[in-house]
Amino acid sequence: MSNKMRVLFVCAKNDVRSLLAEALLRHTDSLNFEAFSAGLEPGEVDPRTLESLEHIGIETSGLRSKSINEFEGQEFHYLITLCDKSSEEASHMPSSGEVIVWNFEDPVSSERHEPFRHALQEIHDRIKMFVTVKTR
C-alpha cells in the first residue's frame, strides 16, 4: 500500500487543463503524490496539450482523456477541479478528503497570445504551491 497522497484533477473534457495538471504534478513530486485526471464529458486530447508538455521536457506517455466514471469507488486525498463546470459537479464525484476549486481559462477558446504556454505556466505555478503547502 502506497503512502502517497492521491490527487484527482477534474475538468469538463479532460482534454487540456486536467491533463496538464496530472502530468505536472507527476513531474513535480511523484515521491509524495499519485496524480490522476478525468473529465465529466471526456473528449479527444488536444495535441497542443502534449506538445506543450513535451516542449518543456515532461513525459506524456500514457496521458489520455478519461471519464470520471473510471474512478468510481476510488478514494482520493484531494479532488481538484479546474473549471467552473467541474466545480459545480464536485458533489457527484469520487470521494475525497478535500475538494479544492481552481479555475483556469480554457486555452482552446482563449484569445491570449500563446494560450497553451500561458495555461501550462499558470497550472505549474499552482501545482508547485500546492506541493509546497501539502508536503510541509
Q: Are 36 and 22 in contact (CB under 8 A)?
A: yes
What is the C-alpha to C-alpha distance for residues 33 and 12, in angstroms, rounded to an integer? 23
Three-state secondary-structure class, residue 51: helix
Report the predicted TM-score, pTM, of the whole model to 2 decimal places.
0.92
Which helix H or strand E contains 59, and what residues bound it?
none
Q: Are 54 and 60 in contact (CB under 8 A)?
A: yes
Strand partners of residue 98: 78
136 residues of the chain, pLDDT tens digit each: 579 999 999 998 999 999 999 999 999 999 999 999 999 999 899 999 999 999 999 999 999 999 999 998 899 999 999 987 777 776 666 666 888 999 999 999 888 889 999 999 999 999 999 999 999 9
Nearest to 15 by CA among 39, 45, 40, 36: 45
Amino acid 1: pLDDT: 56
Amino acid 86: pLDDT: 72
Amino acid 76: pLDDT: 93
Rg (CA), the chain: 14
What domains, with CATH codes, occur in the chain? 5-134 (3.40.50.2300)
Three-state secondary-structure class, residue 94: coil
